[in-house]
Structure 1
Amino acid sequence: MPTQTVPTDTGWLVTAFHLERGPGCEAVAERVRQLRARILFDHGRRPEFRKGHGVYTDDQELDYGAWHFVARRQAGGPPLGYVRLCTPEAGELFQTRSFLGEEQYRDFLLSHGLGTAETFEHSRLVVEHRARKLGLGVHLNAMAIAAARYLGAKAMVGTSGTADGQDLFHARFGFRHVAGTRRYVERYTEDVVVMMYRSTDGCGAYGALVDELEEAFPRLVRPVSELDAAEWSGGSADPAAGSTPVSAAISAAAPAAGPAVTEAQGGEPCWRPGLFDLQRPGDAAAFEALMGSGRVREVVDTVADQLVELVTCREPALRGSPEGVERAVAAQLAGRPVREYGTWVWYPWSGRLVHLLPRDEFRLVRTDRNRGRIERPEQRHLLERRVGIIGLSVGSSAALTFAMEGIAGAYKLADFDTLSVSNLNRLRAGVHHLGLNKCVIAARQMLEIDPWLDIEVFTRGLDDATMPEFFTGGQGRIDLLVEECDEPRVKLAAREWARRLRVPVVMDANDRGLLDVERFDLEPERPLLHGILGETTSEELKDLTAREKVDVILAMVDRSGISAELEASIARLGTTLSSWPQLASGVALGGALTAEAARRILLGLPRPSGRFYADLAVLTSAERSVLA
């Protein structure tokens, strides 16, 4: 069966198969049971799942007649996660039925208008420790729901643990607690509760993923006869056949590896790093060639410390147990030498070679302190988004803040200008950047925060010819625009495109903390710039004089609301002042304001159109003090 590609936001290879009693099935069932039991044993937390040293057991007749889903990170890699979907043909053996008892289970179905022929059971969702918190559990849960819907399920039932919030996890997909069913189960060493899902109820935040996987399900299926032992050990057979790589959207956009990344790209200064995976023979050879080239000025390898951060981010309780941390790191490495684990990143503009965790693990650790404000499912959702930024002077603060906070995994940056000495009062750049295009500076700095970001640069700025490419071309369409340029015609033309394509726009005016939001995604008929310029079009703003440009920009930001300092400066422009007065503090504030607005918009949180002032002079005035 040929490999199929299904583009989603995760990077997992999933194989689906249906087990019946017959030749070859018992051996596969035993491998499934060993995999589940080893993960469920959880270093001794559930001792009943181990028979003896290295021997684990989870024998259940339910395995026959059920669908099984096994996930890997890459072809040939070991299984990292699993879920089971039990069909009505095995309904007499459902765990839910056993948990409730025959009479209560029958009454439960009747009370919800369900029959046995349309009720499926979801069970045994397990993920290896080294693959947790990377979205695999979400993907497998969505896969089970998708398969059930494809197979005609009206409802799904299942028992869920509660100690680690598994029940709350299922609730995010639309599963609901069944009242009066929670009780302690010795085998699982925790309280267990029955949960139910109806196919007509949707899947909450994961509806799009479930829809996509429901369509993909038939292409994931492999006959049991095609499965072999290599698929369970990470051997050299071809386990990709019949599996579906589900990460084309982000992975395909990753920069090319190795010294092929030169000092210039397409005649422009280099701004993309090279990525090396030493477990790939071609990368290993290119890496050794780079090391011997004399171009590497500094090697930074802290991956051992990063591994400790990774395992303690997943399990904070390990912080008090050096032995536990050591065991978790060893399990994460899974026998690989530390030098070959993860990714080596080559930054040709600085001559630095940096060793990092693999992409998803790196991002998990890098954004761990976002949790509580931006939870991991939201973090993954944001990484699917693409943001366009026009104007990388004031906009550079937004670009770097977005990259640090994880607001989008892809960007388009547009600015024709290069860095000059007078820009150093507000741009985070060094004297070694003088003369370099501002897009390139921002892209380099962002990729030094996260080398897997997908960044396109428009170093000649935007005009009628390049506007379509910026909004919809290249690697893909933008989901949000941050507009920070000084050219009135471009400001208006960008909004014309944004409104046509229903792209929301945010802008910081860099005076009095003015944040401007236009929700063209929700209000496609909304007047541009809130109607301040009436029916004026970008075409009418061609060939303006310098004075006329100043007047139009002042109209765009509402001259009546500007600060006294800016008002006093206007008459001096071109005489005693060379350009608009701007400060680093105002630019930094603008990055924060646009980031907060963009994050809320991209996550579907309330952020209405309008103009909002975060005037620090007013907000920190004496009368605003909260002290007596």
Structure 2
Amino acid sequence: MNVFSAPDGAPWHVSAFRLDAGGQEQAEAVRRIRELRARILFDHGRRPDFRTTDGGYADDQDLDFGAWHFVGRREPDGPPLGYVRLSTPETGELFQTRAYLGSQVYEELLRECGFGTAETFEHSRLVVEHQARKLGLGVYLNAFAMAAARCLGAKAMIGTSGTADGQDRFHERFGFHAIPGTRRYVERYTEDVVIMLYRSALPAGEHAGLVEQLEDLFPAATVPAREAGLGGEFGRASDVCGQAPDVADRASDVREIRACGERLAAASARADDGAEPCWRPVHFELGRAEDRARLRELLDSGAVREVRDTIEDQLAELVTSREPRLRSSPEAVERAVAEQLGGAGRQEYGTWVWYPWSGRLVHLLPREEFRLVRTDRNRGRIDRAQQRRLLGCRVGVIGLSVGSSAALTFAMEGIGGSFRLADFDTLSVSNLNRLRAGVHHLGLNKCVLAARQMLELDPWLDIEIHPGGLTDETMEEFFSGGTGPLDLLVEECDTPYVKVAAREHARVLGIPVVMDANDRGLLDVERFDLEPQRPLLHGLLGDTTSRDLTDLTPQQAVDVILTMVDRERLSPELTAAVGQIGTTLSSWPQLASGVALGGALTAEAARRILLGLPRPSGRFYTDLEVLTSGDRSTVAPSLSVQEIS
């Protein structure tokens, strides 16, 4: 079989061939290609529509005839590990994008972009076995299809792209851009799909060099379908994954890792000595030569105090979370793990994450696989499609004392993938009665503390901090800057001006606000996204604006906050304590149990709001003293001491 090996020496062999309609040979080749695609797209049940009732796999598309097909392997005669299709204008009436948009909209879209149907090619069905995805096969196949299109005279390339696993971002790195207004949910793929377009006259993004090399070499890689290695069974990944490395091999890998290091990260480890404490972890992927060198310097620097490598257990969790029935057979788990690795060394698989503030270096699964396992126990309460939707949301948290419980609960539950945290205060001894922190954190800004803890749960979270708190100068950036406007605000600060000013901004932008008042389990919800004219704080302050709340005396601030939380509904304990604040009490009394409850209440409300489930504006009490009183018991009361005696 004529094969093409990637020009930079990567172990991928790609064969390209075109299939025309007619003939048993072509029909059999198409059948096998469709089986390969459907099995990978099925993805252990994630897309059930690609499984047939008899247990087979099906992805029948007339577009296959007349299209170019590209198959990738690790070895010239090995089984296919990936595939992509390129369709030319001759079959343009069958394009997926045309069917997705409708013919009229499709042609209008091309005209608006300056292209005609006769010069637009479509690439589609990029599928790669799990164990080959992290090794770069998808990049080579996509680059190959683009190179072929340019070589064949394409002025533009168009295609549908999924969004759940970041496929749209993958294509952006090749110079494709999403067409506004084309994103919508497609049941067959169980995810949102968007149309993406590439102008062939432009460089192919960060992979321009690879595409240019392949464009020159594409003709030499083409073969007749009968020579494309499609005879016999395609072979599943388990047929080619080989044996797992033995203990000696793994020990050698570990020694190699420990022989690596990164001196420049030693400065990061001492960042707390400077004006701005560090809170961002550093990521290393050992498949990259640059990262290997950086990690080598880090370990040589002596800054690493602890190495945590549980990748074996994580891989076992990954494969059994996809297929729980494997748990009954350790041998089946071992085979599935070997298939997942696809011959890659365990030490090279996934990501090594360096936490400078603790000196820990942790080995984790790749991001999407890590998140799949980390949120696996959410299933049954939050399905995977909902989880992906939540991870696409941006959440702001103001006040990281009570608000830290909400922020950490959100991070644990997977509510939000992007966060903005604002608090000017630092951790003090009196905070330790309700914040999850240790004495070694004293004096640390509360934003930094929360960001570190959240990133220790998920090192891929996108977090911005505002350690100066929320001011007139930073308000706009907090609500609308960075990655875009917030989808939800959690407001937990003690300053009346900020509480009202934040709501004023949220109402203008249509951002819902949730708040826990930390007394009697009070949850406050303001759906400014649904009610743009809704009075702030349900009208409890009348026409008061944020400008009316500047320069308040301490007593005036207390009075305003009591009005906000409705003093008539305060618990007896807090009512009695209010008059003592500033005399016998230093500040508002708060307990860890109430703060923990507030995190749960705000998380439940946020999850429902962000998923479009019912959660109206209003105030709701979860008073544990009332809810757990004796008359609420659902079982017979115990005998009293007198009755027992």
Report TM bin, short chain. Answer: 0.5 to 0.7
| Inter-partner Cα distance in structure 1 for 2:127 and 2:190 | 23
Instruction: Name the SS of the counterpart of 1:417 in structure 2.
Output: coil
The alpha-carbon deviation at position 129 of structure 1 amounts to 5.2
**Matched residue, 2:103:** none
Q: Is the 8 A contact 1:39 1:127 kept in 2?
A: no
Larger RCO (alpha carbons 8 Å, 6+ apart): 1
Deviation at 1:303, TM superposition (A): 0.3
The corresponding residue for 1:268 is 276
Query: Where does residue 65 of structure 1 map in the other structure?
Result: 66
Task: Provide the secondary structure at the position in 1 that maps to 2:301.
Answer: coil
Q: Secondary structure at the match of 1:268?
A: coil
Selected match of 1:462 from 467, 470, 483: 470
CA deviation vs aligned residue, 1:5-63 (integer Å, no higher than 9, x gap): xxxxxxxxxx9x995549xxx99x969946844974999x9xxxxxxxxxx99999873
Work out the CA distance in 2 between the residues paired with 1:423 and 1:549.
21
- Contact 1:62–1:86 (8 Å) recurs in 2: no
Looking at structure 1, the residues matched to 199 and 17 of structure 2 have their Cα atoms a distance apart, in angstroms, of: 12
Return the alpha-carbon distance in structure 1 between the equivalents of residues 505 and 410 of structure 2: 22
- Distance of aligned partners of 1:87 and 1:515 in 2 relative to their CA distance in 1, 3 Å threshold: farther
1:284 maps to which residue? 292
Letter in 2 for 1:450: D
Distance in 2 between the 1:79 and 1:217 partners?
A: 28
Alignment correspondent of 1:545: 553
From the superposition, tell whether residues 568 and 83 of structure 1 become closer, same or farther in structure 2 (CA, over 3 Å). farther
1:61/1:510 Cα in 2 relative to 1: closer, same or farther (>3 Å)?
A: closer
Normalised by the length of structure 2, the TM-score is 0.66
Post-superposition offset of 1:512: 0.3
State the 1:80 CA deviation.
5.1
Q: Measure, in 2, the Cα distance between the counterparts of 1:531 and 1:58.
A: 57
**Aligned residue type for 2:494:** D
Structure 2: stretches of 5+ with no match in the other structure: 1-13, 46-56, 74-79, 95-123, 134-155, 159-163, 165-181, 205-210, 223-227, 230-263, 637-645
Return the match for 2:593 from 585, 605, 615: 585
Cα distance, 1:475 vs. partner?
3.4
Q: Deviations over 1:155-201 (max 9, x none)?
A: xxxxxxxxxxxxxx9xxxxxxxxxxxxxxxxxxxxxxxxxxxxxx99
Query: C-alpha distance in 1, partners of 2:198/2:565?
Result: 49
Q: Which residue of 1 aligns with 2:397?
A: 389
Shift of 1:625: 1.1
AA aligned to 1:385 is C
- Give the TM-score of the pair, scaled to structure 1: 0.67
In the TM superposition, 1:169-318 aligns within 5 A as: 203=185, 212-213=194-195, 226=218, 261-264=268-271, 267-318=275-326
Q: How big is the shift at 1:212? A: 2.9
**Separation in structure 1 between the aligned mates of residue 516 and residue 549 of structure 2, nearest angstrom:** 21
**2: distance between equivalents of 1:479 and 1:57?**
39
Equivalent residues of 1:19, 1:63 under 8 A apart: no
Instruction: Check the 8 A contact 1:83/1:126 in 2, yes or no.
Output: no
SS in 1 for 2:541: coil
Residue aligning to 2:178: none
| CA apart distance, 1:66 | 5.2
Would you say the 8 A contact 1:388–1:480 is kept in 2?
A: yes
Equivalence for 2:635 = 627
Deviation at 1:476, TM superposition (A): 2.9
State the shift of 1:65 in Å: 3.0
Q: Residues of 1 paired with 2:30 and 2:296: CA distance?
A: 39
Asked if residue 380 in structure 1 is aligned to residue 388 in structure 2, the reply is yes
**2:544 is matched by which residue type in structure 1?**
T
Quick one: distance in 2 between partners of 1:35 and 1:614? 55
The residue correspondences of 1:412-423 to structure 2 (distance < 5 A) are 412-423=420-431
Larger deviation: 327-336 or 498-507?
327-336
CA contact (8 A) 2:285 2:348 kept: yes
In structure 2, the CA distance between the partners of 1:297 and 1:402, relative to structure 1 (3 Å rule), is: same
- Describe the shift of the 1:88–1:279 C-alpha distance in structure 2 as closer, same or farther (beyond 3 A): closer
Counterpart AA for 1:294: G
Amino acid at match of 1:424: L
CA spacing shift, 1:563–1:59, aligned 2, 3 Å: closer
2:500 aligned partner? 492
2:335 to 327, 350, 355: 327
Q: Which residue identity does 1:128 align to in structure 2?
A: E
Match of 1:181 in 2: none
Equivalence map 1:36-51=2 (5 Å): 36-37=35-36, 40=39
The aligned amino acid for 1:359 is R
Tell me, in whole angstroms, the C-alpha distance in 2 between the residues paired with 1:61 and 1:550. Answer: 71
| Superposition map of 1:390-409 within 5 A | 390-409=398-417
SS at match of 1:339: coil
- 1:33–1:59 contact (8 Å) kept in structure 2: no
d(CA) in 2 for partners of 1:270, 1:503: 30
In structure 1, the residue matched to 2:350 is 342
Q: Is the 8 A contact 2:81 2:128 kept in 1?
A: no
Is the 2:427–2:445 Cα contact (8 Å) retained in structure 1? yes
The total of aligned residue pairs comes to 478
**Following the alignment from structure 2 to structure 1, what is the Cα–Cα distance between the partners of residues 397 and 553?**
25
Partner of 1:617: 625
- Identify which of 523, 534, 538 aligns with 1:530: 538
**Residue aligned with 1:429, SS:** coil
State the superposition RMSD in angstroms.
4.5
- Alpha-carbon distance between aligned partners in 1 of 2:216 and 2:538, rounded to the nearest angstrom: 61
Q: 1:450 aligns with which of 452, 458, 461?
A: 458
The answer to whether the 8 A contact 2:82-2:128 is kept is yes
CA distance in 2, matches of 1:88, 1:608: 53
1:307 deviation in Å? 0.4
Stretches of structure 1 that go unaligned for 5 or more consecutive residues are 1-14, 46-55, 73-77, 93-122, 133-149, 153-168, 170-199, 234-256
Once the two structures are superposed, what CA deviation does each residue of 1:138-165 show, in whole Å capped at 9, x if it has no partner?
Answer: xxxxxxxxxxxx999xxxxxxxxxxxxx
Give how far 1:410 is off. Answer: 0.9
What CA distance in whole angstroms lies between the structure 1 residues aligned with 2:276 and 2:87?
A: 53
1:66–1:86 contact (8 Å) kept in structure 2 = yes
SS of residue paired to 2:304? coil
- 2:425 is paired with a residue whose SS is coil
- How big is the shift at 1:361? 0.5
Paired residues of 2:514 and 2:526 also in contact (CA < 8 A): yes
Percentage of matched positions with identical amino acids: 64
Secondary structure in 1 aligned to 2:463? strand
Q: Secondary structure at the match of 1:363?
A: helix
> Offset of 1:301 from its aligned partner?
0.3
- Shift, 1:463, TM fit: 0.8
